[in-house]
Structure 1
Amino acid sequence: MASQQRAERTRHRLLQAAAAEISRFGYDGSSLQRISKAAGVTMGALTFHFPTKMDLAHAIHADGAALAREAVLRIAAPHAPDGPAPGPEPALPRIVRITLTLGELLATEATVRASARLTRERIAGREDWRDSWLPSVRRLIEQARGGHEFKPGVTSDTVTTLTRHLVSGLEDSALPGTGSAPVEALADVWDLVLTGLADSHPAFVPRT
């Protein structure tokens, strides 16, 4: 049992070190030697847990996507536990809060940044970090449309494209050396966008 716990701790340290490395330098620019040194383990221990660099990348991608998916599903639930009030919350405010939450995760979690970057670099193959949040957003968009939360003429495709572009901008701004993801700026963008998007524009854009 003790050896298993040590192995799990070693694996966790390797994933943390690799996430920081890949989020900063990308897959091609990352170094297994730097990762092993940052994790405080030997190269032998690294290759024991992850025989190849690609195995390590897939594990990081899965962890980052799982972290994002868990956070998004909590918001997307009809009775979101972290919603502003009890009872069903309209869909559009939940879409806004999902993007803000993704921005916070990108700013604070190297695993999420690395997962998003591996998707952009097309390293993860068919695995796509956007699959952790975009399906929930699409369902909420359809709920919002069905609930007449959009102004006449606003299509689901338009809102989906808008949301994808906003999150993509968060990914770029969350790269190390460019500052943290501008979540507050994103809230300001939503305030502007909702004027032309929502059938009514209550003050539901949360502020930090």
Structure 2
Amino acid sequence: MRAVCEDGAACTRAAVEHTLRRSQLPLQNVIDLTHEISWLLRTEPTVRAASRLSRETTRTEGSWHQLWLDDVGRLAARAHTRGDLSESCSAELLCTLVRCMLAGTDSPPVHTPATWGESPDVLAQLWRLVLGSVAAPGRPALLPGGSPG
């Protein structure tokens, strides 16, 4: 069990580090991270196992989710400081939104529709739906489907 968690964590951290280099825009990095975490949960068995085991334990420090949620929090704070978030969207609200968006991918299929976590298009559609409320007007264009690379 420990080896599975360590492998899932290593895979996740490597993917997060790679993803954080895709864009100079903090809000775009948040979008990119949601796509990357979703992809890992769909394709990497050790990541799925690490996520599940992390959900089933009461320990929050060092949990699999903290491997990427801390980065989302830092990016959301930077986006807020730069004025990239709308007046109605705080950094904390953006973090909550990301957790909710990924809940379908991170949940057992019995709790969500079968197709929810299977398609990256779902996340892109969700981002298209909410970006008008999340991003400040006049800020750089964002890619709801994620940055290339």
Pairwise same-fold verdict (TM > 0.5) = yes
- Amino acid corresponding to residue 64 of structure 2 in structure 1: W
Verify the 8 A CA contact 1:61 1:114 in the aligned structure 2.
yes
Which residue pairs with 1:191 in the alignment?
128
- Amino acid corresponding to residue 14 of structure 2 in structure 1: E
> How far is the alpha carbon of 1:125 from its aligned partner?
7.7
Verify the 8 A CA contact 1:170 1:182 in the aligned structure 2.
no
Verify the 8 A CA contact 1:150 1:199 in the aligned structure 2.
yes
Verify the 8 A CA contact 2:28 2:142 in the aligned structure 1.
no
Change (3 A) 1:89 1:64: same
Which residue pairs with 1:48 in the alignment?
none
The two structures have a TM-score, normalised by structure 2, of 0.83
Change (3 A) 1:188 1:70: same
The superposition leaves residues 37-80 of structure 1 with CA deviations (integer Å, 9 ceiling, x where unpaired) of: xxxxxxxxxxxxxxxxxxxx12111111111111112222xxx1
The superposition leaves residues 120-158 of structure 1 with CA deviations (integer Å, 9 ceiling, x where unpaired) of: 121878541112101111110111001100111321111
Percent identity over the alignment is 28
Which residue pairs with 2:45 in the alignment?
110
- Amino acid corresponding to residue 183 of structure 1 in structure 2: P
Moved more, 123-132 or 165-174: 123-132
2 CA distance for matches of 1:125 and 1:100? 23
2 CA distance for matches of 1:73 and 1:163? 18
Equivalent of 2:97 in 144, 162, 167:
162
Which residue pairs with 1:4 in the alignment?
none
Which residue pairs with 2:18 in the alignment?
74
Matched, 1:147 2:82: yes
2 CA distance for matches of 1:142 and 1:126? 20
Change (3 A) 1:191 1:114: same
RMSD of equivalent CA atoms: 2.5
Q: Which runs of 5+ in 2 are unaligned?
A: none
1 CA distance for matches of 2:57 and 2:121? 29
2 CA distance for matches of 1:206 and 1:70? 21
Q: Relative contact order (C-alpha < 8 Å, sep 6+): which is higher?
A: 2
Verify the 8 A CA contact 1:118 1:124 in the aligned structure 2.
no
Q: Which has the larger radius of gyration?
A: 1
The superposition leaves residues 100-120 of structure 1 with CA deviations (integer Å, 9 ceiling, x where unpaired) of: 011111111101001101111
